[in-house]
Structure 1
């Protein structure tokens, strides 16, 4: 066995560097953090071959004094902290004192800097671990860090670097993160002599738009929530903007970009009801909290942190994101409305204004949308001065519905029905197409959730109990869970070892196929287990219930029913997506229609 001995200093630094600098992008991150900590307001980045050949970062920060240049290149030398107490309340991005030492251990580095108190700049170089003495250099206020030939002296590490394009993309991602969190700093990025990005100083909204694009900003809901000393701000993309990967997920804690499973889970859960299958949400969120409640000294790369009270933080983030996504369409899409809203519909958000003609209510209209007779009786319609269409099989709205009307509700008023699947409506912007089953499914789902949360099921006793055959296993399982069925609004009875009877159901579900619905709920309970069905499997069961009850394709609706559905959508949380995350409506504005028909050309 070989004798134990102290490793050479250069080898120690190279080993340590592997934890901090995995690729050029890692070095770029560390240098940018140092520039920000030095109060820089402009940072210029120049890369050659994806940063592998050369990386040059110039800032206008406070600079490094001559006698501090060599210590700055020594491991665990830092101006950010000086005691254990400081480590428990870190406010700077850097604090470990490893960045420059690690970078110089795996590349040839040149460090040039000037402070306000110096007559000129000073420069030191590091080649294969050997540091030169400071010498005069030409530079205005600030610091320049140049790193050449990454891992040239460590071939085993260099072979793990990817292509120039891949390494550049990682560097670009680092810039985007820093640009998002610091709109008060100007950034430029050159690659192989070409300017790729330039972000001037601006506000956070314009910076997000510059980094992630206008399409993203047009598809987001804002968040600004505070509880005690915790504050969450930023934007979350609506589910229709969901991504195939996590490439548009930016979360910052006290201005530090982090990846954390707890936070990722909280956000994913908030999107659970509205995100389709394996799609990923997009967001830019900034969490501010007391530094003493966060431990950032978990990993050398500083992208992982620990929280003092993770459970409370999880709930705070979950509810903040869920609340933002739950806003009705008229709030999440204010561009769809000019003066429509409470002033144009003061009597009830679920009813069309009285100045529009509507048809007489049908059973579906009254039972599902709860519009009272007084509003829709003959005299009320007559008062509008509009001769409404009385035939339920005629699906084209009277022209008087849309003439001389300055404003519409967000989703407009129904014009007709297409192939028994879509509702066509007109709003201020143009044409709105609604998937009636998906929309009704979401409405029922939200009502069922609210009823379960408040334990206020409205039970409907069936005039004739629904009796049906079931296999012995289902009957036994149903008998074991009669109380659970009662909790979700069903009254079941066991008539024989192979016969079940349903005597009562939630009133909102009385139009459903009771037999199929009951059997499907049984399967859901068996899958999740009776002890978890009202927690983990709760929403899945309610989604099943709403799906069975929602309006089916090829169901002919009257204009009144269509308008009632539109008003319900506007008053329902998360109405822009069905329970499976698919969109419930789509708008084609007049400009889009004009383009389709080449008007004006």
Structure 2
């Protein structure tokens, strides 16, 4: 039998490696931006077209590369960051694996232009599908320019599975934000389809955050600062009123490297316990500085997973430092981290005599001595009439309604907010919140089909938005207009001037919040369905709003008219039928 194991060609192995390193256009953006930072660049430009499908270009004014280094950079495991095994445990740069450029070049058409400051001319290299096409001398400024064209052009299956341009650009924007927030001392520019979206000046962290997420966020941030012998924590957390359902303003950095950690996210969430509603997420921009020997960044090719030597201590530091700042800034009860300025105590002088406190008492006071006058007959009568005005049926009610002659169902409210109903000889346990969702969903679907009416607001509603939320809202703005909304997005502010006539004004901002939360890459269903689900979820009455049977009865009757579907629009159970045991 012939041998069957063979060594794969370089271009095939590079394409396989690209599956881990280059998952979508944002992966390329991350690698190129990090390379520019490792090259000590102080000015970085990012340009994308068609969300990175057709073009991703990064231009920097870093140290540049020689002709030999430029060609070598596209070889697998070729890097200037490490030289031996020991270096892996002392990594200070963003990149170190030597896989990114080889993987990118294997699935795209790459053009590199680069020049070192001490050299008179630069180098241009063109690579397509991992194959060198040309290398020549050119005249360019010091620095590097990477152009990545037609990503996945030679892997149609990968290109086909990319999401829409709006979704892919949101991922590009996420990566841009992460890199920009980690390096506030570097100038950044972002262009999308030739239009400048962001120009970030170099400055301090608070300036960088406000440049990205809007000026209004400044007033919603609380500074965090704590330093121990082996670790330093700094940054900002948002006040409880800035918490949202949507993710987008949660950033963790270690040694200026963005990383993800559900464990540390929980530490932040725990610090806000009791201050924000459930399912809401606080904003935070937290920076950890620690000895590089206490962490391991060589966990995954994406380099966003980091192993800490002592995670539990970092967890405790995050939690206590945030609680401390919340207390100091009077957001939560202070635990005497700093003296409360309202408490002022006079401190006696060293030689002054100490006086015993004087207490005044009335020795003649007798609590059993009756000094009050007895009630008159008229006063007694008024009290009697007052209590007799209350009838038993005003303050008490039977658990079950009394059975009526027209065979109405009996209702019993359970402690968890569900209701038991005797219906057609069966015992039904229903969820009024989900049933109300189902009813509202069907109403909204019908009103959309019949062209929803709009009502102008006397006082417009306003909500701050940041770049990622802007992209989401712009992508559905025309569809929201068709549902009856009228809104404008200027700078970092959303202004709503008209809403659908069948939606309560006090629910509108919550509905926008829910739409932004649910509007992810997975929401591929028809917008009218998606919209109706979100609106019904927010607008439905909560379980604690159904207290008396008179409140649940009309909802139940409407539900029966809908033929009592078992699942609500969000695929949650509306009811369960409980079998009644036979004791005979």
Q: In the alignment, is residue 110 of structure 1 matched against residue 111 of structure 2? A: yes
Deviation at 1:205, TM superposition (A): 1.3
Could you tell me which residue of structure 2 aligns to residue 89 of structure 1?
A: 90
Instruction: Give yes or no for contact 2:239–2:331 (8 Å, CA) kept in 1.
Output: no
Could you tell me which residue of structure 1 aligns to residue 163 of structure 2?
A: 162
Q: Distance in 2 between matches of 1:7 and 1:162?
A: 30
Q: Distance in 2 between matches of 1:74 and 1:133?
A: 15
Q: What's the secondary structure of 2:34's corresponding residue? A: helix
Q: Distance in 1 between matches of 2:214 and 2:284?
A: 13
Could you tell me which residue of structure 1 aligns to residue 47 of structure 2?
A: 46
Distance 1:330 1:19, change over 3 A: closer
Instruction: Give yes or no for contact 1:108–1:149 (8 Å, CA) kept in 2.
Output: yes
Q: In the alignment, is residue 10 of structure 1 matched against residue 14 of structure 2? A: no
Could you tell me which residue of structure 2 aligns to residue 142 of structure 1?
A: 143
Q: How does 1:470-549 map to 2 (within 5 A)?
A: none
Q: How does 1:157-196 map to 2 (within 5 A)?
A: 157-196=158-197
Deviation string 1:359-383 (CA, Å, 9 cap, x unpaired) is: xxxxxxxxxxxxx999xxxxxxxxx
Instruction: Give yes or no for contact 2:72–2:78 (8 Å, CA) kept in 1.
Output: yes
Could you tell me which residue of structure 1 aligns to residue 323 of structure 2?
A: 322
Could you tell me which residue of structure 1 aligns to residue 29 of structure 2?
A: 28
Q: What's the secondary structure of 2:278's corresponding residue? A: coil
Q: What's the secondary structure of 1:11's corresponding residue? A: helix
Instruction: Give yes or no for contact 1:14–1:102 (8 Å, CA) kept in 2.
Output: yes
Q: Distance in 2 between matches of 1:235 and 1:90?
A: 26
Instruction: Give yes or no for contact 2:102–2:130 (8 Å, CA) kept in 1.
Output: no
Q: Distance in 2 between matches of 1:233 and 1:273?
A: 23
Q: Distance in 2 between matches of 1:65 and 1:328?
A: 53
Q: Distance in 2 between matches of 1:64 and 1:46?
A: 21
Could you tell me which residue of structure 1 aligns to residue 271 of structure 2?
A: 270
Distance 1:330 1:55, change over 3 A: closer
Q: Distance in 2 between matches of 1:345 and 1:270?
A: 26
How many residues end up aligned between the 2 structures?
Answer: 347
Could you tell me which residue of structure 1 aligns to residue 344 of structure 2?
A: 346
Q: Distance in 2 between matches of 1:78 and 1:332?
A: 52
Instruction: Give yes or no for contact 2:222–2:329 (8 Å, CA) kept in 1.
Output: no
Q: Distance in 2 between matches of 1:72 and 1:64?
A: 9
Q: How does 1:104-253 map to 2 (within 5 A)?
A: 104-253=105-254
Instruction: Give yes or no for contact 1:54–1:147 (8 Å, CA) kept in 2.
Output: yes
Q: Which has the higher contact order (CA 8 A, sep 6+)?
A: 1
Instruction: Give yes or no for contact 1:73–1:104 (8 Å, CA) kept in 2.
Output: yes
Q: Which moved more, 1:195-204 or 1:321-330?
A: 321-330
Deviation at 1:345, TM superposition (A): 6.2
Deviation at 1:10, TM superposition (A): 0.8
Deviation at 1:133, TM superposition (A): 4.7
Instruction: Give yes or no for contact 1:69–1:134 (8 Å, CA) kept in 2.
Output: no
Gaps of 5+ in 2: 335-339, 347-356, 360-414, 417-584
Gaps of 5+ in 1: 334-340, 349-371, 375-519, 524-601
Q: Distance in 2 between matches of 1:201 and 1:216?
A: 18
Q: How does 1:296-311 map to 2 (within 5 A)?
A: 296-311=297-312
**Rg larger for:** 2
Deviation at 1:325, TM superposition (A): 1.9
Deviation string 1:532-568 (CA, Å, 9 cap, x unpaired) is: xxxxxxxxxxxxxxxxxxxxxxxxxxxxxxxxxxxxx
Q: Distance in 2 between matches of 1:222 and 1:275?
A: 18
Q: Distance in 1 between matches of 2:31 and 2:271?
A: 32
Could you tell me which residue of structure 1 aligns to residue 364 of structure 2?
A: none
What RMSD, in angstroms, separates the aligned Cα atoms of the two structures?
Answer: 2.6
Deviation string 1:338-365 (CA, Å, 9 cap, x unpaired) is: xxx83x76359xxxxxxxxxxxxxxxxx
Q: What's the secondary structure of 1:303's corresponding residue? A: coil
Instruction: Give yes or no for contact 1:298–1:305 (8 Å, CA) kept in 2.
Output: yes
Q: Distance in 1 between matches of 2:153 and 2:133?
A: 19
Q: TM-score, normalised by structure 2?
A: 0.57
Q: Distance in 2 between matches of 1:197 and 1:257?
A: 20
Deviation at 1:163, TM superposition (A): 1.1
Q: Distance in 2 between matches of 1:128 and 1:180?
A: 33
Q: What's the secondary structure of 2:45's corresponding residue? A: strand
